Amino acid sequence: MNTPILTTGRLRLLPFSEDDFPLLQDLHSDPEVNRYLSPGPAIMDPAEVRRRLANYVGDHRVTGMSKWKLETVEGAFIGRAGFSFERNPEGYELGYSLKRSAWGQGYASEIARALVGWFFDTTQNDHMLAYAVAEHKASQRVMQKAGLHFWREIRKHGLHCRFYRITRRQYLQSLEPGTGG
């Protein structure tokens, strides 16, 4: 078994391997999971799932940063979470996608908060981003709970998106006593 990248009270992140195609395909076979992702509310094409998986595996191998396999500490696959590098606007983007059976249990907020801490504790980057389609209010609440602040609105992939951001300084301030961090 791979060594976890990150573990919380209920969750762990592990690097994907090529053998994880069935797990990722199952995740993206649910049109509701894909509603705010490309391809939208449809089943993701298996070739696209393979392309994404190859990127996750390659990014982790080359940079140590990727979207990783999200499991419960008991080993049940519930989705993916981690980082990808964005060019416009530039920076590492926090992203997550969970199986519908994992929705509403606080998993997205738990892993997003942990990933923000991991990011600033592990890298020297000054800031990180996250974004969601403007009408995806649940994802925006996750970003806010993780400490990110609304930054700006941008059209991305032809969609109106709300970008959130947190700087290293904001993260460190959130850790100070009396700041609610």
Q: How are the residues of the chain apportioned to helix, strand and coil, as percentages rounded to the nearest 5?
A: 35, 30, 35
In a domain, 153, yes or no: yes
Mean pLDDT of 131-151: 96
Rounded Cα distance between 77 and 149, Å, is 29
Domain coverage including residue 42: 6-82+94-175
Q: What pLDDT does residue 158 have? A: 84
In a domain, 24, yes or no: yes
Q: What pLDDT does residue 37 have? A: 82
Distance of CA 57 to the CA centre of its chain: 15
User: pTM for the complete prediction?
Assistant: 0.94
In a domain, 1, yes or no: no
Domains in the chain, number = 1
Under a CB-based contact definition with an 8 Å cutoff, are residues 68 and 27 in contact?
A: no
139's tokens? 């994802």
In a domain, 181, yes or no: no
Reported as a single tens digit per residue, the pLDDT across 39-51 is 678 889 999 999 9
In a domain, 163, yes or no: yes
CATH of the domain at 78: 3.40.630.30
Mean pLDDT of 76-95: 96
Mean pLDDT of 140-152: 97
Name which of 92, 85, 65 is nearest 5 in CA terms. Answer: 65
Rounded Cα distance between 179 and 153, Å, is 27
In a domain, 180, yes or no: no
